[in-house]
Structure 1
Amino acid sequence: MSFTRPLLFSLALAIAGGGMSAPSWAATPAEVQKHLEDSAGTATIGNHTATLTPLRAFYRERGWKLAWNGDARATAERLLADIQVIAPAEGLNPDFYGVPAGLGDEIEHDILVSDALWRFARDLAIGRVSPTRTVGGMGPESRPVFDGTRALRDLAAGKDLGTALGNLQPSYAGYHRLKRALARYRDLVQAGGWSVIPEGPSIRLGMEDERVPAIRKRLIVTGELPADQDQGTQLDQTVVAAIRSFQHRHGIEADGTVGKATLAALNVSAESRLRQIMVNMERWRWMPRRLDPTHIAVNLPAAHLELVRNGEITLAMRVVVGDVRHQTPTMQTTMTSVVLNPTWTVPPSIATREILPKLRKEPNYLVNNNMQILDAFPEDPVKSQGLGIDWGKYSKFPWRIRQAPGADNALGQVKFNLSNNDDIYLHDTPKRQYFGRIFRALSHGCVRLERPVALAQALVPADYVSKVEGLIADSDTKTLRLERPLTVYLMYMTAWAEEDGTIQFRDDLYGHDGRLEAALKRERPSTAQMAQDHPRGTL
């Protein structure tokens, strides 16, 4: 990491370090140790709360000597000022890492400096917010390990902030592309963003509309339209091409028409897009330090899957993900086997909410859909098919149902087993028409695949690659174990940048962005929360 200190460095220095004055007394190691160990997990100094638990190892390693007194006070001022420069570029709020001038005695001020530096290093390395599913994370266990003692040791040894923290930030190209996008959108915000385009009927190629000049200006700001195309009330071919480009990078059907969805996306403010980039940078900070060389990544808001081998995308396809009521959870999991011609055991919720009402109207529903009741009527094949039962007296489906393999099986011809407690897996579907839609949040939570046979052929042992289609044609259920478990990442990214710098945005499908944005604005988490966030790592 490198950065250029701006001309306003002196102002940042005054804000962050406060021009710390020389101490009037010298604390002994015993006093420092007593201050750190006699207190609880936190120490309140003025209106600042320092988290002591992760700092104790650092001071213990130093023999309980202060880190930022004497000649090192200038180093502390420089580091705190540098945070004010670096934090915004990383999508972090610099206000969380300031140390007011004159706050606390010598020991307390030293602790505050260490606390601010530790927090910034931690937040840059693994994120500020716990990566729970409610904010689009894959769980704390997927978070990288953070060694805060080492980070503080490097800074106290005289390393500049960029050098000391350079290895802490995510190394992914996706993170650094978003970082460049963040700088671009911050410039757009500072330049005034763009104006809201009034509501109205759809505008198509060749139509005249008084809103077209505003649409032209809006597209010029974000680079879809050349700057010399700012005049004219007609939606001509040049503007239509720019609209298609805009629609493509916002996950809207690229028809060149300014309809309701396109207008809504055009009117999302520059400030909102800036915040959207920031929350997705936070999600990159939660990611493991390295992805497995061979893995599957599914981006839920984009409804898109990629198979990656040694850093190269070898297969990509559209997918269908859970609707808003049946959200596909984010997770890091493993695929262990592929099932050809799978059976489908109907989840109890679907049996009660969907199949039971249909049986009341259509007693032959189970027969017509190749389904059978399990266990309840072993000696009565008629009732096991749902016939002769008074379904009106049941408010909850009382038994299990299984659908046999076949063309109408809800899982299609291929199922990919994943290790998780949510009964989530990847699978084929007979409803192929869904893959022609732009909006594909239509499932009950599992991920449906556009090209399941191709994925199976890419994953099964080599001896079976040429046999997959024949085994499917045989109609018998067959499970093929993978040679080794394959890591699967179900991710939630609503903003990302392509290799050429094109920035993609998607709607906040499940509301995770909104919750994460709110969490990032809140004050720093408690010591207990941070301990919960680090089940495997060092605070």
Structure 2
Amino acid sequence: MSGLAVGFVSPAWSQTVALPQKFDAALNVATLVDPSADTKALRDFYRERQGQTAWSESRATALLAEIREIAITEGLAPSAYVLPAVDGDVQRDVAVSAALMRFGRDLAIGAVPPERAYGGFGHDTRGHFDALSFLRQLADGKPLAGVSAAAAPGFVGYARLKQALEKTRAMAAAGGWPSLPDGPKMVPGEADDRLPVLRKRLIASGDLAAEYAEGREFDAPVVEAVKRFQTRHGLEADGTIGARTLTNLNVSAESRARQIAVNLERWRWMTRTPGRHHIAVNIPATMLDVVEDGAVVLSMRVVVGDQKHPTPSMNATMNSLVLNPPWSVPPSIANKEILPKLRRDPNYLTTSNLKITEYPMDSPEAAGDGIDWNAIGKKFPYRLRQPPGPDNALGRVKFNLKDSDDIYMHDTNNRRVFGRTYRALSHGCVRLERPIELAEMTLGSRWQGRLDENIAANPTTRTLMLERTLPVYLLYITAWADEDGGIHFRDDLYGHDRRLAPVLEKARQPGQRTATNLSSDRL
């Protein structure tokens, strides 16, 4: 036999050899997140080691201590990786492997499945974590810091948010910031007994320089600090302290740290290959970015679904758009909104340029003439369509999204809404502030500066293919940090943060962390 074969374990042997009975017993009592997949990974790991333990006492102690340090910086809970009570060296070795594997998975793809109820893309969109490779590298002596860094998301946004978490936790540890008492609106230029508290609050969050700590006047430095705070929180930056600004000022530093940790989890759900060119919509921020080679080349405001019609988080693709699109009214809108309006005003179809498709478009019947709307039950019996034109709800351009639950992006005939700070106003689709610019960019250079004129000259409905298929991400991010270190927060528009936080808290308890337990929290 050649000496080169010494110590080599063939894949066939490692898959077929039986583990010593003591390993089987240890695996049966190990705390595992996904018992089926985790047991297989651990079996494969110890088979490759020919049934030998992997961790010396000193190495295990060092790794578990390092997990604690790294977990804190990543927004994970060190308590999830504490070893349970064990009986003997083999059980301890398997428990250490299980804790390392659990930590690697949580860091790589999240501690909780990315359910849509939590602001994820759906349970089956979760990425892959190679537990066997993770354990192999550590068993070969590679530093946990390096192996962990390779497993964690490499996005700039994730790194910035980690820094924001550290900063916010430091604020909380230093006592956080004071709460402002209720009272009338605080207006620039007026004195208020709460001004000293407001100054301390704004200094604590970095919005006001410490040199302006004294005074009962709502002076210029405080006004500018309030505007900075309002901008960071998606509020109207008018410098006054109304109800919404007061509410946001009184959210504690501890609560903001928890909000950041929830959003770090959503970053861990993201695909590691979003595409060199893609579109990202942040639903709570009501903003869209077009990204090319890592740089944002176009940003715009958007309108998203209201709380009764939430825009779902999703990963879709866009490969075509429609010029001068007609609007086919969804049955839910016809039943719940249009039918009650017709009962009050039988001419509503005419004034809204809506047509009943079962009749010829130019006939009186298509406009609802002769129909007793009060005699119709709860279910609207017709299909409605709005022809292209200046009154069309989809505007001049509709962007088709594949595999999107009938959600799409489009222009709108109501441009005033983009001047509002609160823009969760649609039935779920995404309305665009600058649809023509987006269309020209996605169609390619030959359309630059020509699309508006082309649409006006040719009012027919046309479908055009994009220059290339684009990934489109509808994200639910309520906390992020900008390149200057400023931390931004948005309201939990659909309650996804509120639902995810307790599930993450449950994931902090090692003995309760099984795939079945986590799945049962789906809405």
Q: 1:78-111: CA deviations, max 9, x gaps? A: 10111111111110110010115x6223322222
Q: 1:204-223: CA deviations, max 9, x gaps? A: 11101100000000001011
Q: 1:143-164: CA deviations, max 9, x gaps? A: 3321010001111111221022
Aligned equivalents of 1:50, 1:144: Cα separation in 2: 14
Counterpart residue type for residue 152 of structure 1: L
Q: Residues 418 and 269 from structure 1, CA distance in 2 versus in 1: closer, same or farther, beyond 3 angstroms?
A: same
- Report the CA distance between 1:391 and its aligned residue: 1.2
Match of 1:367 in 2: 350
**Secondary structure at 2:385 match in 1:** strand
1:60 and 2:47 aligned? yes
Q: How many residues align?
A: 496
CA contact (8 A) 2:30 2:95 kept: no
Aligned equivalents of 1:488, 1:244: Cα separation in 2: 32
Match of 1:208 in 2: 191
**Secondary structure at 1:231 match in 2:** coil
TM-score normalised by length of structure 2:
0.90
1:85 and 2:65 aligned? no
CA contact (8 A) 1:341 1:405 kept: yes
**Secondary structure at 2:184 match in 1:** coil
**Secondary structure at 1:150 match in 2:** helix
- Report the CA distance between 1:384 and its aligned residue: 2.2
Aligned equivalents of 1:365, 1:293: Cα separation in 2: 47
Q: 1:27-52: CA deviations, max 9, x gaps? A: x9522454368x4xx6469xx99952
Counterpart residue type for residue 89 of structure 2: E
- Report the CA distance between 1:483 and its aligned residue: 2.9
CA contact (8 A) 1:336 1:482 kept: yes
Counterpart residue type for residue 146 of structure 2: T
**Secondary structure at 2:296 match in 1:** strand
Aligned equivalents of 2:135, 2:165: Cα separation in 1: 28
Aligned equivalents of 1:442, 1:359: Cα separation in 2: 22
Write the mapping of 1:49-128 to structure 2, written as runs, cut at 5 A: 51-68=38-55, 72-100=56-84, 103-128=86-111
Q: 1:161-202: CA deviations, max 9, x gaps? A: 102212011111111111111111111111111121100011
Counterpart residue type for residue 25 of structure 2: H
**Secondary structure at 1:514 match in 2:** helix
Match of 1:30 in 2: 20
CA contact (8 A) 2:115 2:123 kept: yes
1:489 and 2:476 aligned? no
Match of 1:224 in 2: 207
**Secondary structure at 2:101 match in 1:** helix
Counterpart residue type for residue 477 of structure 1: T
Moved more, 335-344 or 363-372: 363-372
Q: Residues 529 and 54 from structure 1, CA distance in 2 versus in 1: closer, same or farther, beyond 3 angstroms?
A: farther
Indicate which of 369, 377, 387 corresponds to 2:369: 387
Indicate which of 482, 491, 496 corresponds to 1:507: 491
Indicate which of 144, 160, 168 corresponds to 2:143: 160
Aligned equivalents of 1:261, 1:532: Cα separation in 2: 35
Counterpart residue type for residue 479 of structure 1: T
Aligned equivalents of 2:47, 2:268: Cα separation in 1: 29
Moved more, 276-285 or 522-531: 522-531
Q: 1:401-455: CA deviations, max 9, x gaps? A: 1100011101011100001252100001111110000010001100000011111
Aligned equivalents of 2:227, 2:446: Cα separation in 1: 45
Aligned equivalents of 1:220, 1:52: Cα separation in 2: 51
Moved more, 385-394 or 462-471: 462-471
Aligned equivalents of 2:515, 2:341: Cα separation in 1: 52
CA contact (8 A) 1:32 1:66 kept: no
Aligned equivalents of 1:228, 1:462: Cα separation in 2: 52
Aligned equivalents of 1:391, 1:29: Cα separation in 2: 75
CA contact (8 A) 2:478 2:492 kept: yes
Counterpart residue type for residue 326 of structure 2: T
Q: Residues 50 and 405 from structure 1, CA distance in 2 versus in 1: closer, same or farther, beyond 3 angstroms?
A: closer
**Secondary structure at 1:483 match in 2:** strand
- Among all aligned residue pairs of Structure 1 and Structure 2, give the percentage whose two residues are the same amino acid: 51
Aligned equivalents of 1:399, 1:525: Cα separation in 2: 50
- Report the CA distance between 1:58 and its aligned residue: 1.6
Write the mapping of 1:17-416 to structure 2, written as runs, cut at 5 A: 29-32=19-22, 34-35=24-25, 39=28, 43=30, 51-68=38-55, 72-100=56-84, 103-375=86-358, 377=359, 381-394=363-376, 395-416=378-399
Counterpart residue type for residue 107 of structure 1: V
Aligned equivalents of 1:36, 1:351: Cα separation in 2: 61
**Secondary structure at 2:188 match in 1:** coil
CA contact (8 A) 1:495 1:503 kept: yes
Aligned equivalents of 1:272, 1:379: Cα separation in 2: 56
Counterpart residue type for residue 375 of structure 2: K
CA contact (8 A) 2:134 2:147 kept: yes
Match of 1:15 in 2: none
CA contact (8 A) 2:31 2:98 kept: no
- Report the CA distance between 1:528 and its aligned residue: 5.0
- Report the CA distance between 1:123 and its aligned residue: 0.4
Question: What is the RMSD computed on CA atoms of the aligned residues?
Answer: 2.3
Counterpart residue type for residue 165 of structure 2: L
Aligned equivalents of 2:36, 2:520: Cα separation in 1: 19
CA contact (8 A) 1:32 1:64 kept: no
Gapped runs of 5+ residues in structure 2? 1-17
Moved more, 490-499 or 462-471: 462-471
Q: Residues 120 and 178 from structure 1, CA distance in 2 versus in 1: closer, same or farther, beyond 3 angstroms?
A: same
Aligned equivalents of 2:520, 2:473: Cα separation in 1: 22
Gapped runs of 5+ residues in structure 1? 1-27, 534-539
**Secondary structure at 2:364 match in 1:** helix
Q: Residues 380 and 29 from structure 1, CA distance in 2 versus in 1: closer, same or farther, beyond 3 angstroms?
A: closer
**Secondary structure at 1:184 match in 2:** helix
Counterpart residue type for residue 369 of structure 2: L
